[in-house]
Amino acid sequence: MQHWFYSTMTLQQDSIKTTVHVCSLTARLPAQTQSPAVSSGGRRSSECIIRAVVTSGITFFLSMMAATLCGKLLPKQGWLPVTQSVRHGSKAVTRHRKPIHILKQKLLAVTKYVPPTPVVPKGAYPSERQEVKEESGFVLLLKRELKKLFQDYKMVAVAQNCNSNAEDMRILKHRLHRHGIAVKFFPNQVMCSFLSDSVYSNMAPLFIGPTVLFVSKEPKVKEMLTSLRSSPQMTLLGACIDNTLLSAQGVVSYSKLPSVSVVQGELVSGLAMMTAHTASMLQRHPAHLSALLQQYVKQQSSEEAPKAEEAT
């Protein structure tokens, strides 16, 4: 029967009072060491000796600890204090920011890292290495969409919207959708980087601030202008129609152009006019002659008719 008596010593470095929970350590120690030695036996003796050695070692250690720490608290052996003070006072882990001790503050201030001052200020010279950032997947996706946009849609108009509510946008989108014009939004950075690589690099300065793209497969400029006139906050900046970059005034004049068939008719008539004029010039003399002969024949017939009437 071995009675193991344990002692738990809890120490707090920052606590004012160290409390030691001792559970009958000193009282039982001498008895423990003695009892294995008293009982003797063949096999049991060796075990007892080992246990005795171990226990004596542990208890010696514990007693040393106890002696060093609570030498004053427990002056006499076997004396336990009647009142055991509960650990209280300042804690290490607090909910608020604990003020740093002045000594620690001083230490931190002295050992603070001071970076070396650069000889040349940072923005003075451009960096030698050009930073090339890899574009994220989303940016690549947007660029692909833009490429498709410029390929599919003939008309790409750019407008700036100062302020438009969701309501205004909804109404405008509905109006434009009726004519087959779509409203697209793209981030300016992506747009500029795409345009600078592509053919349409001159459109890049248009994209400052909140911009909206109006795209349509057929260039329906008149309808777009009428819809934009109703929303005062949208300012048309420019458009790219049939791979030609137009300004706002250019767009207005484009809208005033007649339709393609009318223009073609005009062109054909204009070209044909020259040849018709030449043909008529060539045929003027024979025509004149034939007209004169006809007139003469008429006169002759009119003269003969009265003569025949007179004869009869």
Partner 1 sequence: MAASSKSAVVLKAVKKIAVQFCPFESNVRSTREFLLFVGSEKARSTNMNCEVITTVKHDKSEPVVDVTFVDGERLLMKGAKLTTREMLSAFQSRCTAKDPQAKAGVKK
Residue 180 CB, nearest approach to partner 1 (Å): 25
Q: Residue 8: in which H helix or E strand, if any?
A: strand 8-9
Q: Residue 214: in which H helix or E strand, if any?
A: strand 211-216
* 3-class secondary structure, 41: coil
Closer residue to partner 1 (CB): 54 or 162: 162
Closer residue to partner 1 (CB): 19 or 233: 233
Establish how many alpha carbons lie within 13 A of residue 21's alpha carbon, considering only the half-sphere containing its beta carbon. Answer: 10
Closer residue to partner 1 (CB): 54 or 208: 208
The answer to whether the beta carbons of residues 15 and 87 sit under 8 Å apart is: yes
End-to-end CA distance of the chain: 181
C-beta atoms surrounding 252 within 10 Å: 14
Residue 209 CB, nearest approach to partner 1 (Å): 5
Closer residue to partner 1 (CB): 118 or 123: 123
How many residues are recorded in the chain?
Answer: 312
CA angle at 236 for the pair 238 and 249, rounded to the nearest 5°: 60
Residue 150 CB, nearest approach to partner 1 (Å): 19
Closer residue to partner 1 (CB): 163 or 302: 163
Residue 106 CB, nearest approach to partner 1 (Å): 37
Residue 135 CB, nearest approach to partner 1 (Å): 24
Closer residue to partner 1 (CB): 55 or 188: 188
Residue 249 CB, nearest approach to partner 1 (Å): 6
Q: Say if residue 298 is exposed, middle or buried (CB neighbours under 10 Å; 0-12, 13-18, 19+).
A: exposed
92: its two tokens: 């290490």
> Which residues contribute to the site for partner 1 (CB under 8 A)?
160, 162-163, 165, 202, 205-206, 208-210, 233, 235-238, 247-250
Residue 237 CB, nearest approach to partner 1 (Å): 4
| CA distance linking residue 204 with residue 195, whole number of Å | 6
Closer residue to partner 1 (CB): 167 or 242: 167
Which residue's entry shows tokens 């809208």? 255
